[in-house]
Every structure is written in structure tokens, then in C-alpha cells.
Amino acid sequence: MIASPSPNPPRGVPGGRDLSAPPLPDPATVSLFFDFDGTLVELAPTPDAIIVDDALGMRLARLSEATGGRVAIVTGRSIAQIDRLMGRHAEGLAIAGSHGAERRTPAEGHVLPARTPELEAATEALRTFAEAERLVFEAKTLGVSLHYRTVPEREAVAREGAARIAGAYGLSAHPGKMMVEVRLPGDKGAAVHAMMQDPAMAGTKPWFFGDDVTDEDGFAAAAALSGAGVLIDPPRDTAATYRLDDVAALRGWIDALLARSGDRATERLA
């Protein structure tokens, strides 16, 4: 069975009306949560083909400084992948990986559930399936993704195979952009609620930036905690309050926030 992206369906956009661009908040009042792929970095044909430039790490470091350390990445990738991709720039950031199933914050350290025998068995079955069906196989700390971006005509094959194998091991398959994942349970909204307990973030308003279906849980959590969701994608039914077109627009918005907060080095990031 393919799992529903969220138990709470996204709020519709009334009458098809688009959402406005987010205003610039006072950095002293907010905690900023960023999805990774499709939000902070451009999507690429395969998981390893993304480009993570140094300017992104520097932007996030400056944002962290401007907000008093209240910047987090909330991603479907594992924390180990983000460490590898971001290098030294990952060190100062709070990170929720594996769609919220693992977290690493200054207050909690690394909260990482153990892999289960069912996940181990499903991983091997999915590896064999992906090889036979010419799908891109991505093994992660707490799950597996089968990607069909390079073979879009194989979407149904990927989804049906993932659902069948997940079901055989008591797991669920979750759809994403041009891929399907089998993984241990995780929820980006729950991750936001948990990270907002951190003394540095408590009492501030969470803003969540994301593009994919699993980010809807993050948007809903941000709204429930008096913050806001920002969709980084074309208009769609969403629980977000604001919208920006793409990764470049988000980087421009971050630079504007940094400039407003008095950051003197922002122009060198463009």
C-alpha cells in the first residue's frame, strides 16, 4: 500500500488564488526550518548529482548567526547524507533527517532509532527489484528510495513494486517527487514540534520552507505553532501560507533577510 502523505489533507487554495511571497520577519522572533532537495538545492536527475555550493553553507551559517542559532534542515535524506553533502557547514545546524525519524540538535544530541530486521530484509528485496527494473536505488540510514526521474515511464512499476515489498515486511511506501520510498515511520511535522522544544527555539515562531508532499506536515506544524509555511513550488493545494517560485527565489529571500538584519557580507553570496 502507498501511504497517504499526511493524515490531514492540505488546505486548498481558495478559488485557485495564488499565495503571496513571504514578508521578511524579524530574525529575533523566528526559527527557520528548511527542506533540502528542491528547496535549498536544485533537483537533479539522480540523488548524487545535486550541486551543493559553498555559498549555501555560508548563507545558512549567517542566517544561524542572525537568528541566534535557530536554523534547521528537515529532510528526507539521512543526517549522514547531509553531513557528507554540506561538510563543515552542517556542524552548526540542527538537522532532522529521514523525514523526521532521526534528529540532531545541540540540546538532544543525535536521536537515531535502530534499523529493524524488516527494514534490512526490505532493503535487500528493493535493491534486487531496482536492479531488475532499471530504477535508481538509494540506500539511506532508515530507508530506501527508488527513483524513476531518468525513466519516468517506469513510475507505475516503481510504485507497485515498492508497495508490494513494503507490505511484505510490514512497512509503508511513501511517494515523493519522481521516486517512492520505503522507510521507518517519520513525520516532518512531528520533527518541527520536537525541535521547537529546544530552549533556543522555544517561544519563537517556526517558519517551514519546502517543496514536496512530505513538507505539508511541516507547513501544518508551523501554522499550528503560530508560524508559517512557505511553499517553494508552483501553486497547488497546500497547507502553506506563502509561496516562492523556486530555489533561486528562496536564496534571494534569504539574502534580503540577511541584508535587513545588518549582515554585511550578503552581497558576496550572490
Ligand X SMILES: O=P(O)(O)OC[C@H]1O[C@H](O[C@H]2O[C@H](CO)[C@@H](O)[C@H](O)[C@H]2O)[C@H](O)[C@@H](O)[C@@H]1O
Using alpha carbons, select from 117, 107, 61 the residue that is nearest to residue 86.
61
What interhelical angle do 215-224 and 188-195 show, nearest 10? Answer: 40
Q: Is 46 in the site for ligand X (CB under 6 A)?
A: yes
237 noted as active-site residue = no
CB of 148 or CB of 263, closer to ligand X = 148
- Candidates 77, 89, 103, 243; binder of ligand X (CB under 6 A) is 77
Q: Is 179 in the site for ligand X (CB under 6 A)?
A: yes
- Name the one residue in this structure whose C-alpha cell is 513571504: 22
Q: Is 122 in the site for ligand X (CB under 6 A)?
A: no
Q: What number of chain residues touch ligand X (CB under 6 A)?
A: 25
Using alpha carbons, select from 204, 177, 172 the residue that is nearest to residue 101.
172
Q: Is 147 in the site for ligand X (CB under 6 A)?
A: yes
CB of 13 or CB of 151, closer to ligand X = 151
- Candidates 138, 187, 198, 216; binder of ligand X (CB under 6 A) is 138
Q: Please, what is the minimum distance in Å from the beta carbon of residue 197 to ligand X?
A: 21
Q: Which residues of 165-202 are buried (b: 16+ CB within 10 A; e: fewer)?
A: bbeebebbbbbbebbbbbbbbbbbbbbbbbbbebebbe
- Candidates 176, 193, 213, 260; binder of ligand X (CB under 6 A) is 176
Residue 228: DSSP 8-state: E
Cβ-Cβ contacts under 8 Å for 168 (sequence gap 6 or more): 122, 125
Q: Please, what is the minimum distance in Å from the beta carbon of residue 106 to ligand X?
A: 21
Q: Is 198 in the site for ligand X (CB under 6 A)?
A: no
CB of 4 or CB of 20, closer to ligand X = 4
- Candidates 44, 139, 202, 256; binder of ligand X (CB under 6 A) is 44
Half-sphere exposure of 58 (CA within 13 A, CB side): 12
Cβ-Cβ contacts under 8 Å for 56 (sequence gap 6 or more): 40, 41, 86, 89, 251
Q: Please, what is the minimum distance in Å from the beta carbon of residue 265 to ligand X?
A: 26
Q: Is 52 in the site for ligand X (CB under 6 A)?
A: no
Segment interacting with ligand X, rule: CB under 6 A, options 14-22, 174-182, 195-203, 242-250: 174-182
Using CB atoms within 10 A of its CB, is residue 88 exposed (0-12), middle (13-18) or buried (19+)? Answer: exposed
18, 26, 35, 212: the active-site residue:
35
Sign of CA dihedral 228, 230, 231, 235: positive
Look at strands 205-210 and 228-232 and give their pairing: parallel
Q: Is 187 in the site for ligand X (CB under 6 A)?
A: no
Q: Is 217 in the site for ligand X (CB under 6 A)?
A: no
Catalytic residues: 35
Binding site for ligand X (CB under 6 A): 35-38, 43-47, 50, 75-77, 138, 140, 145, 147, 149, 176-179, 181, 212, 214
